[in-house]
A = this chain, B = another copy of it.
Amino acid sequence: MDTKTAIIKLGDSLIREKGYNAFSFSDISKKLSIKNASVHYHFPTKTALGLAIIQEHHNRLDQLKTKMENKAPIEKLNAFLSIYTVAESEHKICIIGSLATDFYTVETEIQNKVKILADNILNWVMEILQDGKDKKVFLFNISTRTKALMIITNMLAAVQLTRLTNKQDFKEIKENIIHDLTQTC
């Protein structure tokens, strides 16, 4: 892995573990055994690094969407929920949740890019839910947008909350989301 990629990966870890304002160029340079100025060579400003990290999430989302393209709605949903399962197992939170908390402290460029990412995620979940509803595998009688938001908020906050409560809670929440969607009322 080249240095630039390593910086993005580490920066992403740090943002999702400690938050945008708690990580520094120094954290990165120390961990990668390079100098502070070398990080600045790849990313002139912290904002530039932040933007690259969000871009990486855009790319990963696109890859996952493509990979799951021809799968059943339930499998797509599981793929989406797995993002959070992995995060939770690494004691990390979702990039959206992390940057939403720090939203008013980051530059407008980052605000805009994270808004677009949130929108992309929401749209994907809405597509999955609508497809599942059309195919009679998902059951819900509220708007697709609100249902998608309910699921996203459950997951987004679950990874945050389970830092404070216990690990089992996350699993229960996740299982209930699937059960709630697939039950025959």
Say what secondary structure dominates the interface of chain A: helix
CB of A82 within 8 Å of the partner chain: no
> Contact: B173 with A146, CB < 8 Å?
yes
Inter-subunit contact A164/B18 (CB<8 Å): no
User: Is there contact, CB below 8 Å, between B157 and A153?
Assistant: yes
Residues of chain B within 8 A (CB-CB) of A118 are 161, 164-165
A122 within 8 A of B: yes
Residue from B100, B150, B173 in contact with A93 in the complex, judged by beta carbons closer than 8 Å: B100
- A156 touches B (CB below 8 Å): yes
Q: A96-B164, A161-B96, A185-B185 are in contact. Are A102 and B22 (CB under 8 A)?
A: yes
A134: B residues at CB distance < 8 A: none
| Residue contact B165 to A153, C-beta cutoff 8 Å | no
Task: Kindly report which residue of chain B lies nearest to residue A183, judged by CB atoms.
Answer: B141
User: Which residues of chain B come closer than 8 Å to A153, judged between CB atoms?
Assistant: 153-158, 161, 173
A21 neighbours in B (Cβ, 8 Å): 19, 21-22
Chain A contacts with B in 44-81, Cβ cutoff 8 A? none
Do A100 and B161 have beta carbons less than 8 Å apart?
A: yes
Minimum Cβ distance to chain B for residue A68 (Å): 23
Output the nearest chain B residue to A94 by Cβ-Cβ distance.
B157
Instruction: Please tell me which one of the listed residues B22, B149, B154, B155 contacts residue A105 in the complex, with CB atoms under 8 A apart.
Output: B22
29 contacts between A and B (CB under 8 A): A18-B104, A19-B21, A19-B105, A21-B22, A22-B105, A93-B101, A96-B161, A98-B101, A100-B160, A100-B161, A100-B163, A101-B102, A103-B163, A103-B164, A114-B164, A115-B164, A118-B165, A142-B176, A145-B169, A149-B165, A149-B173, A152-B157, A153-B156, A153-B161, A153-B173, A156-B160, A156-B161, A157-B160, A185-B185
